[in-house]
Amino acid sequence: MTKLMNVVLLLVALVPALAQSNTNVQGGNFKGQVRYETNAPASYIKVEIWSDGGTFRTTVNTDDLGHFGVQAPFGVIQYKIEIPGYKPAYGREDLSMSGRANELITLKALPGTTPPGAAPAPFNERIAAIPAEAKKEFDAGQKAVNANDFAGAIPHLQKAVTLYPSYAEAYQLLGLSQMQTQQGPQAEASLTKAVQIEDKMPQAQYLLGMLFAMTNRANLAEKPFTRFAELDPTNPDAHFELAKTEFALDKFDQAEMHARKAVELKEKNPGVEVVLAYSLLRQKKATEAKEAFKQYLKLDPNSPMKADVEKTIAMIDEHEKQAK
């Protein structure tokens, strides 16, 4: 009986390996689907794919249903999609264990872009009143932003808001461009103006929150990050930023809640596990914290924080041992 069980266990261990070997002779299988926020497929768009270290790099196009697939080496694979009118989409998947990944990527429209399948926007008197010359300057500024020419975008966007002081979308892009050119106070003024004019702009709320967070003003960052999460509730970054902000404000239960939500929404930054772990530790939930630390090391085994995290795990183990 023991010999038979050993054979069965050996077969169970070999079957997945053989299947992977047969189907992925050149490496792993990285595939996915790209869609718009409306769930319409993003057809015939370019997806850049590369490995950590850059030894493998390729570009594929989605099919008519937004699907793509490529053979890639085992290890961490990164991807990026950049098309005009949409926020850049990027992420990473680890093929080293299973040898395959299936990514669902959602493209989010920038202000002024209507994705395929979207319902007609309700009439907005403020937007309808934008003068043609101001719109022309905004379009020139947006084109420069899409080309990463933030310094070149600023004069166009400044002219747009001069021509039309209620141009919230132009203030948002102006704030982004000023952030990218190290003009923090000017960016803060522009983004504050943007959300004063139009509160329902998730990107402006996010950028304003980031500005406050980067200048150690967590008490001010909480409001725009909270609004960002309300406007874009399925965005893991909203909850990750809120988790860090609430932790800085000593609101550890709220930090835990938002960190868990970010994990649930598949936040790509493994640092969310560290925020979760320390939030749990501050609530004296050491066992749960240890699991979060272990998950972090699993996701980022080469982290520069590895020694500190391992030391903290050892301290938790010692404390638990003494408590018994």
Domain 27-107 has CATH 3.40.190.10: no
Domain 124-200 has CATH 2.30.40.10: no
pTM of the entire predicted model = 0.66
Q: Which two tokens stand for residue 288?
A: 């749960």
Strands 67-72 and 28-36: antiparallel
Of 176, 164, 168, nearest in space to 132 by CA = 164
Q: For 233-324, CATH number? A: 1.25.40.10
Of 322, 316, 63, 110, nearest in space to 207 by CA = 110
**What is the model's pLDDT at position 134?**
95
CA-CA-CA-CA dihedral for 182, 184, 188, 190, to nearest 10: -40
pLDDT in tens, the chain (324 residues): 444 334 333 333 333 333 333 333 356 788 899 999 888 889 888 999 998 877 889 999 998 888 998 988 888 889 999 988 888 998 888 887 777 888 899 998 887 788 887 776 678 899 999 999 999 999 999 999 888 899 999 999 999 999 999 999 999 999 999 999 999 999 999 999 999 999 999 999 999 999 999 999 999 999 999 999 999 888 899 999 999 999 999 999 999 999 999 999 989 899 999 999 999 999 999 999 999 999 999 999 998 999 999 999 999 988 878 876
End-to-end CA distance of the chain: 40
Listed by start position, the domains of the chain span 27-107, 124-200, 233-324
Asked whether 210 and 216 are in contact (CB, 8 A), the reply is: no
Classify residue 66 by burial, with Cβ atoms within 10 Å: 0-12, 13-18, 19+.
Answer: buried
Beta pairing partners, 109: 86
